[in-house]
Amino acid sequence: MSIETTQPLPVSDLTTMLHDAHDRTRALVQGLDADQLMGPRLAIVNPLLWEIGHVGWFHEHFVLAGLDRQGSYIDGSDMLYDSMKVAHDSRWDLDLPDLGATLSYMERVRDALCDRLSRKGKTASVRDTYHTLLTLFHEDMHDEAFTWSRQTLSYPTPDFGEPAVRDDAGPLPGDVEIPGGSHVMGAVGDEPFIFDNEKWGHRVDIAPFRMARAPVTNAEYADFVADGGYAERRFWDDQGWRWREIEGAEHPVYWRRDGSGWQGREFQDWMKLRPHAPVIHVCWHEARAFCRWAGRRLPTEAEWDFAASRAPGDRPEDRRRFAWGDDPPTPQRANLDGRALGVIDVAAFPAGDAAFGCRQMIGNVWEWTESDFTPFPGFSDDPYRDYSRPWFYTHKTARGGSWATRDRLVWNGWRNFAMAGRQDLFYGFRTCAL
């Protein structure tokens, strides 16, 4: 990116966030034994012990070494933790330091980052702000990955403190009318931080459409399952049916029968499925099959972006940073930051409604879109070249953040992406009328 578009931040803000990120990382591995820290060799997770070290290495590589030409705080760090060089399947075979040594490495790197910032005065330079945020947000994203890895591996629920109460807020049926029109999608240069795949703002024309007020719920998805949704070939395209047959899928991956109803697994615990919470841990193929069954469709990425960031009467270039406006997220507006340790009913958080009436476009579950993950016009690589480029045209886009996403990270324009068959992520979806 053009780093000049980054807004310089106070050093105190950056150091506070670095400590907070480190505390979250520690909480996500606390209480796990040596076997759990390695875990089984799976394509969809990393060994947690390796991933913790990788987070520390990333800070070191892009700031301490990248900017200051400083040596590593651990011998052979590039050979251990460089994800661009160390093949995924080989990460279980490395001679990794134990957890204590790995956390000590992370702490020394964090302290060095904070020390270098403290010598910059009260406000960090644009360059230092950008590189610090790059590595900080990278840790935030890995912390969400640590969280879904604990879910995938049936590990105990992480301890982030007293979880928020998940009140029964109920369903939120119906559609809203969205007028469409000319819309600027992508970053326009005044955002606090811009990822490479958000570059640059460009005009798209969007026809009027109707979008669901809320994501699809467990109860709605259970009706699809009960009606033979996984058995009926007509609801699936060729790739989706092939995926279903290979996986042997008959329902969402973390569901099981409980008499006449369903239970869902949350980390290591099975509990009665919350009917009005959004369905979660469904892949893109499952979302599309549901849409065919329901006579609906997924929104395109541009439609989702319009519904989340525009208000009636806005000019094409006007963008609300969040669904509710430009003020930052709060616990009253969105289920973020791991506060609830899971999803909350779709009728919750009316204070977070988008201008056209959609709810929970930020937080609770990432929302699949119909669109492939492709570069925007004007895309160029940032210092972390492997962030986006290797995944273009092979992944699908998702928007909005999940209950585990850090609230300092998400905004309407943030583009997430995953392979169409991923079920392990905190992904759900909302639909549009045909």
User: Using one digit for the tens of pLDDT, what is the confidence trace for 33-83?
Assistant: 999 999 999 999 999 999 999 999 999 999 999 999 999 999 999 999 999
172/314 same-domain check: yes
**Tell me, what CATH number does 49's domain have?**
1.20.120.450
Of 307, 298, 427, 359, the C-alpha closest to 174 is 359
| pLDDT for the residue 26 | 97
Does residue 159 lie within any of the structural domains?
A: no
Spatial distance between the Cα atoms of 339 and 163, rounded to a whole number of angstroms: 5
Distance CA 52, CA 168 (A): 36
Tell me, yes or no, whether 173 and 278 share the same domain. yes
User: Are 262 and 133 members of one domain?
Assistant: no
Domain-located, residue 157: no
CATH at residue 415: 3.90.1580.10
Within this chain, do residues 345 and 318 fall inside the same structural domain, yes or no?
yes
Domain boundary among 152, 185, 218: 152
Say if 360 falls within a structural domain.
Answer: yes
Is 158 inside a domain boundary? no
> Measured between alpha carbons, how far is residue 234 from residues 250, 295, 396 in Å?
15, 12, 22
**Model pLDDT, residue 161:** 86
Specify the pTM. Answer: 0.96
Residue 99 lies in a domain: yes
Domain shared by 131 and 16, yes or no: yes
C-alpha torsion 282→283→288→289, nearest 10 = -70
Across 191-249, where does the E strand assignment appear?
A: 202-206, 209-212
pLDDT at 3: 56
Domain shared by 242 and 289, yes or no: yes
Q: How many other CB atoms are found less than 10 A from the CB of residue 271?
A: 11
Name the domain boundary from 152, 177, 212. Answer: 152
Q: Are residues 278 and 136 in the same domain?
A: no
**One domain, residues 137 and 186:** no
| pLDDT for position 188 | 86
Could you tell me if 386 and 290 lie in one domain?
yes
Instruction: List CB contacts of 131: < 8 A, sequence separation 6 or more.
Output: 62, 63, 66, 67, 383
Report yes or no on 345 lying in a domain: yes
Same domain, 252 and 361: yes
The answer to whether residue 337 is domain-embedded is: yes
Based on the fold, state whether residues 189 and 111 are members of the same structural domain.
no
pLDDT the model gives residue 4: 52
Q: Does one domain contain both 182 and 69?
A: no
Q: Of 117, 152, 187, which residue is a domain's last?
A: 152
Backbone angles phi, psi at 255, to 5 degrees: -105, 150
The answer to whether residue 135 sits within a structural domain is yes
Q: Which residues of the chain have pLDDT under 50?
A: 1-2
Give the domain range for residue 95: 3-152
Rounded-to-integer distance, Cα 62 and Cα 188, Å: 25
pLDDT of 190: 72
* Distance in angstroms (rounded) separating the CA atoms of residues 21 and 71: 23
Question: Could you give the number of structural domains in the chain?
Answer: 2
Residue 251 CA, chain-centre distance (Å), reads 23
